[in-house]
A and B are shown apart, each in its own frame.
Chain A
Amino acid sequence: MTGLQKLLNAAAALCGFYALVDGFTTLSPALLLAAGLVVVCGMRLSPALAAALPVVIRPQLDLVISLIAACAVLAALQDGMVGAVWGIAIAAWLHGWLAVEKTMADDADATGFNWVVSLGVPLFFGFWLLFFWEALTIGLGIPTVLLPPPSMIGARLVTSTAILMADFQQTFLKAVLAGYAIGCGSAFVVAILVDRSNFLRRGFLPIGNFISALPIIGVAPIMVMWFGFDWQSKAAVVVVMTFFPMMVNTLSGLSAASAMERDLLDTYAAGYWQTLFKLQLPAAMPFIFNALKINSTLALIGAIVAEFFGTPIVGIGFRISTEVGRMNLDMVWAEIAVAALAGSASYGALSLLERRITFWHPSYRTK
């Protein structure tokens, strides 16, 4: 084991030991078992044991211990979190980290794509995030009007599906998608037109860059005044927000091809459209995807914020602002979860598409 791994192991064993001593009479059998396991595992630090039983330094062992301990803690949450339970929770987390460290060390020399590392490890981290959220909110008795535990939010997601779907449809399927398509599409066309003239490009690029840095979201009240309360005004905000990043990136992308590549096409006496489709657009793809990804989150934010300034009684932003007023924080978080899922899904889909289309770019090349 490396230094860091030993440290994690020792710290976990200490936490477990503390839990045993502190809560020997009060802890449930499951928790006692977990604490005992953690302490026993601490003995791996003795070189003799590690040498005699190589199996004890397997990452799987740590994974199992961490999950057992985490489950025991979650089961005991309702009875109140005493010091000993915190000890086990922390020990569980340390073992989880240890398992990841070891998996990484095993994987360090491996080449190629590893599902466990690329998907399993982040998901595992997400699990611990939720675990501590749950443990802290319930264990510390945080009022649910401040921060509801994930379990409560999950329950909301299941019971209020109809409302959530309606809001999702109003905000995402109507405002965001329409605004995103119009904003990105028109910016793309404008950039191609502007790129034909050196003069215009020199004017539009700095101005577009400047406007992209502005708090454009501030136009939301104006758009609501102009385009009314329904989704059209939200789409308009999304259009304005996504337009400039897309235009600037497409413009930079269109001039990304190297001078030599342009010369090459010149020697073939290639026409404007041929140069555009065979050289400029493929070379611009990484830039365009960059903008599409930035815009996917901007669009969601734009649509939701615009709903704060007036909306029919449906929509993610509407629901968030009204439910905050009613102190129904679980509903608010359920809406946030829906928005985050939609955002992550769009971002992920765009990233996959980007990987497919710009596979040739140095950041993706596979040997």
Chain B
Amino acid sequence: MLRQKLLPVLTIIAAIAVIWYGFTVYLNAPWQLDQYEKSATEWSMTDLVRDTMAHDRPVLPAPHQVVAEIWKTTVKKKVTSKRSLIYHSWITLSSTLLGFVMGTFTGMMLAIFIVENRAMDKSLMPWIIASQTIPILAIAPMIIVVLNAIGLSGLLPKALISTYLSFFPIAVGMVKGLRSPDPMLIDLMRTYNCSRWQLFITLRLPSSIPYLFTSMKIAIAISLVGAIVGELPTGAVAGLGARLLSGSYYGQTIQIWSALLTAATLAALLVIAVNIAAQITQRMMGAPK
């Protein structure tokens, strides 16, 4: 079991690390060689490897540099400090969660309307799909400016971007789920002469739960993306997106990568949290473990 699942994953991760180190040396070497030439220093291969991994603003930082930077900006800094990654993560996380909750609610409501009313189905469904072809992430900055202008500022504008992104997978998945009961079971319920409402509560809703959770995993990941991009351009001062932007302004590649890696960790934690919630719910609904 462990060997079957973990070993391949670890192998690939190790391979990625090796390739990463390789690229670190390769990409940072030109500048380093230039340096050697200027100062006319003798150099050996080991020097080169060591020095390419110790740049302040490398083209590509080595993994351990990024990890050290994360360590420095999480554990070593006070949580309230403006340079603490935990502080920035919290800003991003709170708007992610707010957006996710609103998106899930919107998506579920839409799905219920769509399943229960054919006119809604035909009118809304194509537009729900079309809504995602608007590159919302790309216009997030503008939306935030506009929302600021009408007096909405702080958490909510960013959360609205996340909502816009996350309602979509929820709505689509939930529609699928609400329609998933076996037609035979629906016929069975008909023979009991049950009302639409009863059919919904006893059959449709429970069958949609697994679909809902699958969609929620996608939705929460994309909510995080929305929050980060929402922080990018507004001259926002806090959040992982702001770290990315200021890192790119000042060429602080290590800072960019550490923000990226923190975002990745955050995404993983969020998906795992949804997964646990899914397992608990399904256990309570009597699924075998």
The residues of A with any CB-CB pair to B shorter than 8 Å are 97, 100-101, 104, 108, 117-118, 121-122, 124-126, 129, 145-147, 199-204, 206-207, 210, 213-215, 217-219, 221-222, 224-226, 296-297, 300-301, 304-305, 308-309, 316-317, 320-321, 324, 329, 332, 336, 339-340, 343-344, 346-347
Contact = CB atoms under 8 A, between A and B. Distances in A.
B221 interface: yes
A221 B130 contact: no
Contacts of B133: 296-297, 300, 339-340, 343-344, 346-347
B68 to A, nearest CB: 19
B127 A125 contact: yes
Task: Provide the main secondary structure of the chain A interface.
Answer: helix
Most buried by B among A101, A125, A129, A304: A125
Interface stretch (B34-42, B206-214, B263-271, B280-288): B263-271
Given A215-B263, A221-B244, A343-B134, A146 B150 contact: yes
Nearest to B138: A304
B229 A305 contact: yes
B270 to A, nearest CB: 9
A117 B133 CA distance: 22
A215 B225 contact: yes
Contacts of B8: 199-203
Nearest to B218: A213
A336 to B, nearest CB: 6
SS class, residues of chain B in contact with chain A: helix
Given A117-B122, A347-B133, A202 B263 contact: no
Contacts of A347: 129-130, 133
Interface in B131-150: 132-139, 141-142, 145-146, 149-150
B91 interface: no
A218 B130 contact: no
Contacts of A97: 119
Contacts of B9: 202-203, 206-207
Given A203-B11, A308-B233, A329-B146, 17 more contacts: A100-B122, A121-B123, A122-B125, A213-B221, A214-B221, A214-B267, A215-B224, A218-B244, A218-B260, A222-B253, A224-B248, A297-B133, A304-B138, A308-B141, A329-B142, A339-B138, A340-B133
Nearest to A210: B268
A140 to B, nearest CB: 12
A332 to B, nearest CB: 6
A217 B146 contact: no
B139 A217 contact: no
Contacts of A213: 217-218, 221, 267-268, 271
Contacts of B142: 320, 324, 329, 332
A219 B122 CA distance: 38
B289 interface: no
B110 interface: no
Nearest to B268: A210
Contact of B123 (A125, A145, A204, A304): A125
B247 interface: yes
A296 B132 CA distance: 10
Interface of B: 4-5, 7-9, 11-13, 59, 118-119, 122-127, 129-130, 132-139, 141-142, 145-146, 149-150, 217-218, 221, 224-225, 228-229, 232-233, 244-245, 247-248, 251, 253, 256-257, 259-260, 263-264, 267-268, 271
Contacts of B221: 213-214
A339 B142 CA distance: 15
Nearest to A199: B8
A344 B7 CA distance: 42
Given A126-B127, A320-B142, A340-B134, A121 B264 contact: no
B135 A301 contact: yes
Contact of A108 (B118, B123, B218, B229): B118
Nearest to A308: B233
Contacts of A129: 127
Contact of A100 (B119, B132, B263, B271): B119
A149 B102 CA distance: 27
A215 B119 contact: no
A324 B129 contact: no
A122 B126 contact: yes
Nearest to A98: B119
A347 to B, nearest CB: 6
A85 to B, nearest CB: 23
A324 B119 contact: no
Contacts of A117: 122
Closest 9 CB pairs of A and B: A343-B133, A203-B8, A221-B248, A304-B138, A203-B12, A125-B123, A213-B221, A202-B8, A122-B126
Contact of B247 (A214, A221, A316): A221
A110 to B, nearest CB: 12
A233 to B, nearest CB: 12
Nearest to B226: A215
